[in-house]
Structure 1
Amino acid sequence: MKSLGVVVNPIAGMGGRVGLKGTDGNVAEARRRGAEPRAPDRARTALSALHRRRPDCTVYTAAAVMGEYAAREAGYEPEVVYDPREGNGDGNPESASDDDGGPAAEPDGATDAVDPADPGTTAADTRAAVRAFLDRDVDLVLFVGGDGTAVDVAEVLEADGAETPMLGVPAGVKIYSSVFGVTPADAGRIAAEFDRIADREVNDIDEDAYREGEVRSELRAIVPVPVAPDVQSGKQVASGSVDSLAAGFAREVESDRTYVFGPGSTVGAIESELGIDPSPLGVDVWRDGDVLARDASESEILDVLESPATIVVSPIGGQGFIFGRGNHQISPAVIDRADEIEVVASGTKLDGIGALRVDTDDEDVDDALRGWQQVRTGRFTTRLVKVV
């Protein structure tokens, strides 16, 4: 690979830790709740991994926080081919968003800050940047964001009839598409080393419905993506009853212990067994028969979290993530406060995964979580699965 285009959606993932499950249409609310950008750091991580392997690669990017800053901090001297401050892409008056739209412009004079309460740019800017990359015949479009950002990139590639591959650096709250590296560093390495491409799916969901606990997934595009072991799979829904698993877990809950229940139907079955009305895609905190927080943000979890504490999570079907996808509220700070992590999954789901994965934004926490993890699969059965 001789050249690539890099575009960053800097507000991607901001809604996760503050309990919004995304930022589409809720940028100001995310900021009000104290959300902080995570995409710029993940962009730097990916581009640093790329630079270690391909320091001579030509990098085209959008101005400021849309890619320029991250590229420079990784060691590149990028060529800026689109500046959102000089125009609004194709003129579409869409609002900036996390997973379904373009990034927020960085204020003049800043080097890292993003003011999501006044985004300034739209999804149209993401698309305009990608069109500028294609005009330069790049070998790869590397984007930082979530599923909606993937849709924006894919739409430009399809409209142009381009065979240029795309690869995502995961930064959104929800990532259902199979076009992302497993981690930012993996994405950078893949971008540097790939020699084959294959068609993969871009999926997106209705984020408003997602916040209400309903998943409406839609195939949006089929695009060329680099072939590598560390390109994540698309999300799958596991089948099979988890009733016995839930019953077994509920029988063993301890008094005077706080339980942090992650999202998903498997964990939700445990909550139902305990008499809790679960928030299907949120995080609930429970202790001795009382729900201390429902559909909680990171700060709300920390406010009520008392020791001893157990975090209960289930891996995402087809991908294996137990932290870092769809449950950003269970942050490194929350994980550090817990003395026990319980992973639960049906045997059918585990059969489709192979390994468990973590991506918490804190490498020390990720390293501590890696290794063999006992997973409860039924009323009395467990299985050892490696966290990689």
Structure 2
Amino acid sequence: MVNLRIGLIINPYAGIGGAVALKGSDGEQTRDKALASGAIPQAQNRVLTALQNLTQFSQHLHFITASGDMGESCLQTLGLSYNVAYQVTNHPSLAEDTENAVTAILAQQVDILVFAGGDGTARNIYNQLDESTPVLGIPAGCKIHSGVYTITPKAAGQLLEKMLQGQVISLGEADVMDIDEALFRQGRVNAKRYGEMQIPMDLRYVQAVKSGGKENEELVLDDIAAEIIDQMADNPDTLYLIGSGSTTQAIMQNLGQANTLLGVDAVVDQAVINTDLTANDITQLLSQYDKVKLVITLIGGQGHLFGRGNQQLNAENIKKIGRDNIIVVATKSKISKLNGQPLIVDTNDTHLDQQLAGPIKIITGYHDTVIYPIAEPIR
């Protein structure tokens, strides 16, 4: 067993815009709007999930962190050894606090810098990071295109445990990516590479960089749409929740209905009844309809079904919908780009992730399906 000095920085408001359909959390106005809409910050809970199994190694761990919700509070809850290198000066904290915390923490010489957030947080870390310190991101944001994050919070804990056990883990460079949120809210994805940071390169735990661009497989997408539309015709008075993505967009286009490319829309009897739903909107609709189906696709290159860009579909709503009512759609080329890696769910509820695990049917064309696994949650 080795001793580790770990830097810890939490963006307390990472992902806060997801559940209320703001498609991001960048900027004070977005944060304030999300809070006013009833959004509940989840970054702290995701860090607790990531680090809880490390308490058994507490004698070998010491954390260098920022005050309050930017790290100190979580470490107090877990009873882990720490000292505060940076006092947060803004309440609520801002991006400048993240950058200042990086500088203060690195001055105390850590073995690895762990941070929780999304792509904006990764950019803040990158802006101040030296070339010698490896990092590890705990996913907590709405949009995560960067390759510096683990696939789930628990995966971060697993990697840190391996480091404590002295296992040889190679370091490699991973891209820091971010998109223009203003364009994102208009349905346009414009991802830009800002640089790279060193991370532990164990691909069982670290996510791939999201595949960019829209698929150009119009005939296949039309076939998938035809299959879903036939199912809708056979299920009148059923609420269909249509998730985000270009694959599901094709369904709406074939219905002749407007859709929210990067949101969740509601369809009954092949007509849109509500668009760009928040988590609360979905909860209300689920209370109004006895029959519900959720149509969702996977994120290309990563394989996430839940937990990336669709936090409106929170754990409670997914439970109400039920696994048997989840319809996954994807082209075979999209699936093949996963290179055999299973699909990933990261609902912030380990028990639900366990229930969702296992083989699931994916509609890949008209009367054409494949069976593909959803990964077991990392314990």
TM-score, normalised with respect to structure 1: 0.88
Matching residue's letter, 1:217: A
Matching residue's letter, 1:135: A
Matching residue's letter, 2:354: D
Determine the structure 2 residue equivalent to 1:285. Answer: 266
Matching residue's letter, 1:125: D
Question: CA offsets, 1:137-158, max 9 Å, x none?
Answer: 211010000011001111111x
Match of 1:233 among 208, 223, 226: 208
Identity percentage of aligned residues: 37
Question: CA offsets, 1:167-197, max 9 Å, x none?
Answer: 1000000100111111111112212324321
Match of 1:163 among 132, 141, 149: 132
In 2: Cα distance, 1:39 partner to 1:331 partner = 14
How far did 1:124 drift?
Answer: 1.2
How far did 1:55 drift?
Answer: 4.4
Determine the structure 2 residue equivalent to 1:250. Answer: 229
Match of 2:114 among 118, 142, 163: 142
Question: CA offsets, 1:59-78, max 9 Å, x none?
Answer: 10001110011112222021
In 1: Cα distance, 2:151 partner to 2:58 partner = 20
Matching residue's letter, 2:17: G
Determine the structure 2 residue equivalent to 1:273. Answer: 254
Match of 1:214 among 182, 188, 192: 188
In 1: Cα distance, 2:230 partner to 2:34 partner = 38
Q: Indicate yes or no: 2:183 matched with 1:198.
A: no
Determine the structure 2 residue equivalent to 1:300. Answer: 281
Determine the structure 1 residue equivalent to 2:166. Answer: none
Q: Indicate yes or no: 2:174 matched with 1:188.
A: no
1:165 touches 1:225 (CA, 8 Å); kept in 2?
Answer: yes
In 1: Cα distance, 2:78 partner to 2:20 partner = 29
How far did 1:262 drift?
Answer: 0.5
Determine the structure 1 residue equivalent to 2:31. Answer: 27
Determine the structure 1 residue equivalent to 2:12. Answer: 10
Determine helix, strand or coil for the equivalent of 1:377: strand
Q: Indicate yes or no: 2:371 matched with 1:371.
A: no
2:58 touches 2:80 (CA, 8 Å); kept in 1?
Answer: no
Backbone CA RMSD of aligned residues:
1.4
Determine helix, strand or coil for the equivalent of 2:54: helix
In structure 2, stretches of 5+ residues that fail to align are: 164-168
Match of 1:153 among 104, 118, 125: 125
How far did 1:332 drift?
Answer: 1.5
How far did 1:303 drift?
Answer: 1.7
How far did 1:252 drift?
Answer: 2.0
In 1: Cα distance, 2:97 partner to 2:60 partner = 27
Number of matched pairs: 353
Determine the structure 1 residue equivalent to 2:331. Answer: 346
1:54 touches 1:192 (CA, 8 Å); kept in 2?
Answer: no
Question: How does 1:19-168 map onto structure 2 within 5 Å?
Answer: 19-25=21-27, 26-53=30-57, 55-85=59-89, 105=91, 119=92, 121-157=93-129, 160=130, 162-168=131-137
Question: CA offsets, 1:90-124, max 9 Å, x none?
Answer: xxxxxxxxxxxxxxx4xxxxxxxxxxxxx2x3211
How far did 1:240 drift?
Answer: 4.3
In 2: Cα distance, 1:348 partner to 1:264 partner = 15
Runs of 4+ in 1 over 4 A off after TM superposition: none
How far did 1:49 drift?
Answer: 2.9
How far did 1:304 drift?
Answer: 2.1
TM-score, normalised with respect to structure 2: 0.90
In 1: Cα distance, 2:367 partner to 2:126 partner = 46
How far did 1:132 drift?
Answer: 1.5
Determine the structure 2 residue equivalent to 1:100. Answer: none
Shift in alpha-carbon separation, 1:371–1:53, aligned structure 2, 3 A: farther
Matching residue's letter, 1:231: V
Question: CA offsets, 1:11-62, max 9 Å, x none?
Answer: 0011111111112231111011100010011111112133335642111000
Q: Which has more helix, going by share of residues? A: 2
Matching residue's letter, 2:334: K
